[in-house]
Amino acid sequence: ETGVTQTPRHLVMGMTNKKSLKCEQHLGHNAMYWYKQSAKKPLELMFVYNFKEQTENNSVPSRFSPECPNSSHLFLHLHTLQPEDSALYLCASSQQQGGNQPQHFGDGTRLSIL
Amino acid sequence: GNSVTQMEGPVTLSEEAFLTINCTYTATGYPSLFWYVQYPGEGLQLLLKATKADDKGSNKGFEATYRKETTSFHLEKGSVQVSDSAVYFCALSAFSGGYNKLIFGAGTRLAVHP
């Protein structure tokens, strides 16, 4: 049982839809992350939040909009996505952003863009 | 810059065979090194870690030694099982942009047959 829960597990949407991915962590961590995992490509870090403040935006297109209302919840709002955005989106958390603490991952949301 | 290079998969082995997955890195400073595992349909799980040169991380029969002189962190297991079939990611934690971030290799798929 992972301490990081992502919903939904699967999402199919059209290019004009608006949807949101949700991540919740029950580990008391202060840093949360969004990653994109595409076939045959390295894991790509998208966004980082530390104590609810965004500290990293890794040149992500504006059609992806993160939100972190508190240290336990992280959202990724999606609008007007492209077919190449189809991927597994992984959320992770760690005790804090600095140091060498390991990151704990959720099981991901498999996103398919029609 | 900081980067991680893993051997390309897939690696296909028979049960009880010896496993080696090679991982080399480039980094400034003194990174911590990690191996993560991703089972089908799940997120990444921390398998083991090492935080300084000559440290050996171990877990579930897997082990890896931090070799600074060869900038390597090869993953080994003496006798693999079918349940070890998964994708394995080597990663380093390096200080960049004002904080520590995880940098992942591309992953190596392992398939173990009975």
Which residues does chain B have within 8 Å of residue A93's beta carbon, measured at their own beta carbons? none
Read off the pLDDT of residues B48-86 as tens digits, 9 standing for 90 and up: 999 999 999 999 999 999 999 999 999 999 999 999 999
Asked if residue A13 lies in contact with residue A77, where contact means CB atoms within 8 angstroms, the answer is no
Asked if residue B93 lies in contact with residue B31, where contact means CB atoms within 8 angstroms, the answer is yes
Give A16→chain B minimum CA distance, Å.
Answer: 27
What is the band of A73 on the pLDDT scale with cuts at 50, 70, 90?
very high
Question: What do you get for the CA distance between the two ends of chain B, in Å?
Answer: 41
Q: Looking at per-residue confidence, does A40 or B11 come out higher? A: B11
pLDDT beyond 70 at B87: yes
Read off the pLDDT of residues B11-56 as tens digits, 9 standing for 90 and up: 999 999 999 999 999 998 889 999 999 999 899 999 999 999 999 9
Interface of A with B (CB under 8 A): 2, 4, 6, 40-43, 45, 48, 50, 55-56, 90, 92, 97-100, 102-108
Asked if residue B33 lies in contact with residue B66, where contact means CB atoms within 8 angstroms, the answer is yes
Residue B47 falls in which region: left (phi positive, over 0), alpha (psi -120 to 50) or beta: alpha
CA dist., res. A8 & res. A21, Å (int): 7
Q: Tell me which amino acid residue B45 is.
A: Q
